[in-house]
Amino acid sequence: MSLTALISKTWLHAPPSGGIISHRGLRIFSGQLEERLKFMMPTASSDKFKLNEVVWADLVINGKLLSGITYFMLESNDTWCSYWMKMGTNCQSVLHRHTDVELIMILQGQVKDSTGSIYEKGDCVIYKKDSEHQLYSKHGCIMLVIESRPPIIY
């Protein structure tokens, strides 16, 4: 149960004065609830994206178009980048090597890598520095990718 649902279920109108909301170890005095939950709202220093509302672009790495693969850049700076990557049905990436760590979290669908490992929605895989891999998705998938350097494509 989410904190919001717990609050709604516990107090239909307002929590009793001086009451404590406790959920999974989180304790908030009711008088401070609104102030404490403000950190969860987008601000001038944060961005909010909806997976089903973004405009996907073709993924091109080192001048090579990766057929059937699109992406949406979430954040990019001098040291790392994060993006959503979408692989179409029966889509295969190219064999590539990372010169630093890459983290992938599966958001929708399923993907298989060149080691034969299968990753499904909710799974997270960390490819170590200098690892080589290739990804394949039979039914398509969407992943969150975080990396510090672009891969070397063979």
pLDDT at residue 41 in the model: 55
Residue 135: burial class (beta carbons within 10 Å; 0-12, 13-18, 19+): buried
Confidence of residue 43 (pLDDT cuts 50, 70, 90): low
With a cut of 80, say whether residue 152 has pLDDT above it. no
pLDDT at residue 16 in the model: 45
Fold of the domain built from segment(s) 51-153 = Jelly Rolls (2.60.120)
Q: Are 145 and 73 in contact (CB under 8 A)?
A: no
Confidence of residue 57 (pLDDT cuts 50, 70, 90): very high
Residue 13 CA to residue 16 CA, distance in Å, equals 9
Answer with the residue of higher pLDDT: 25 or 54: 54
- If DSSP codes are grouped into helix, strand and coil, which group holds residue 30? helix
Confidence of residue 47 (pLDDT cuts 50, 70, 90): confident
Residue 93 CA to residue 59 CA, distance in Å, equals 10
Q: Rounded mean pLDDT of the chain? A: 78
Answer with the residue of higher pLDDT: 132 or 45: 132
pLDDT at residue 4 in the model: 43
Q: Write down the pTM of the prediction.
A: 0.68
pLDDT tens digits for range 84-122? 999 999 999 988 888 889 999 999 999 999 999 999 999
pLDDT at residue 12 in the model: 37
With a cut of 90, say whether residue 31 has pLDDT above it. no
- Write out the residue limits of the CATH 2.60.120.10 domain(s) in the chain: 51-153
